[in-house]
A = this chain, B = another copy of it.
Amino acid sequence: MSKFIRGNRDLVKAMNRNLLLNIIRREGQLSRKQLMEISGLSVGSVSGIVAELLANHWILEIGEGEFTGGRRQTMIKLNSSAGYAVGLKLMEDRVVIAVTNFESTILDYRQSPITSRSNYAQLVAELAVIIQEVLDTSHIAIDQIFGIGIGLAGVIRSNEGIVHHSPYFGWREVPLAQLLSRQIQRPVFIENDVNTLTLTEQLFGAGRHYSDFVVMTIGRGIGLGIVVSNQLYQGSRGGAGEFGHTVLLQSANGNHPMGFTTLENAASDPAVITNLHRQQPKLRQSLKTLADVVSLADAGNESAKQALMQSGEFLGAALANIVNILNPELVIISGEGTIAGDYRLQPLMTALKQYTFDGLLDDVKIVVEPTDDQAWARGAASLVISKVFESPIIEVGVAN
């Protein structure tokens, strides 16, 4: 059945409640008066809804504002203890886990190796143990968490809670959310890892004040998170953002039969290392990680610098495509690969500027935000938080 959003009193209530909650999140702290002005709602409505949010402990009164000639404004903010979230980031060889409060501040964090990747029951049991451990050490009861968020690379059908395809784990159509949810008896959400990072940026990071922005991650792969009209874009079936598979034409000396290759093959961290190995075979033993490449570049090695630079150039050209097509207000460059710093970023920016159409880049703000393991886990947790702040009018209508 096609499910349309139809208007009624309940929707109105939900919309306005959600609107106020989101304004409070964005602004940090403010008064009912300010809420009135920003939201456009009437005095009575704001008063009533705020009373309800206070009664349900979503928000707190935190004192009075400045004196401006009459009664002082009562300032309110989110209740950071309104609820908690657990985030799991599944990496190739290990799982990184974090507990955050309602405002996405990490309360506890740890990691653990993944021993079973084909035996789902065992995997889920292991995850349940780790989750309980991290909850114990942070003194959060399981029913205090809104739910558990999982982030991993690949095509995720987040609506259905299914891993459609995970190349690293070799999974196809694995109903991971359901499996873990049954074990834990709490809601479980699952999403592409880059998208979880994008949600964190949207809710509590640089994207907070932008309605249209993209996040590009550089690392083991190349990822892209897209926010359009304040909403994470997931593609029609969750496959959006397979940016790393962006096709590029390649020079004639490339090894692809038709002369094409993908961005991931050309510009990811492993690609940089592989290219360097090809150039200087004697490095094959000593050079294993991107950090090694950066050290080499720091030591003045021209080949290393060159490899990073070429990667940046590819990435910049690809990002220019994105800017040309989507015209975002903000571009966030993130991922482990940012540790290469200007070796990669400077040519990236040059190429980006060069290949962006006309003056399109003038209005675009660009932010570089390094990402570590904790950031990924925090992202997965903010996937859960994002559900609380989600607009009641998602999907204006679905074709039948």
Residues of A at the B interface (CB closer than 8 Å) are 1-9, 11-16, 19, 22-23, 37-41, 155, 165, 208-212, 224, 226, 228-231, 233, 235-243, 245-253, 258-260, 262, 314, 317-318, 320-322, 324-329, 351, 354-355, 357-360, 363, 391, 393, 395-400
| B-side contacts of A3, CB under 8 Å | 40
CA distance A357 to B167 in the complex (A): 12
Q: Are B229 and A396 in contact (CB under 8 A)?
A: yes
Which residues of B sit under 8 angstroms from A19, Cβ to Cβ?
4-7, 397
Say yes or no: A39 contacts B4, CB within 8 Å: yes
Q: Which residues of B contact A398 (CB under 8 A)?
A: 211
Q: How far is the CA of A362 from the CA of B324 in the complex (A)?
A: 27
B2 contacts A7, CB within 8 Å?
no
- With both chains docked as a complex, state the minimum distance between the C-beta of A92 and any C-beta of chain B, in angstroms: 18
- Measured between beta carbons, the chain B residues less than 8 angstroms from A9 are 12
24 sampled A-B residue pairs with Cβ under 8 A: A4-B40, A5-B15, A5-B19, A6-B39, A6-B41, A7-B12, A19-B397, A38-B400, A155-B358, A155-B360, A209-B399, A209-B400, A212-B236, A224-B325, A230-B396, A230-B399, A236-B328, A240-B326, A240-B327, A248-B248, A249-B249, A251-B259, A260-B317, A329-B399
Q: List, in ascending order, chain B residues with CB within 8 A of A391's CB.
A: 396-397
Note all chain B residues with C-beta closer than 8 A to A359. Answer: 165
Are B397 and A230 within 8 A (Cβ)?
A: yes
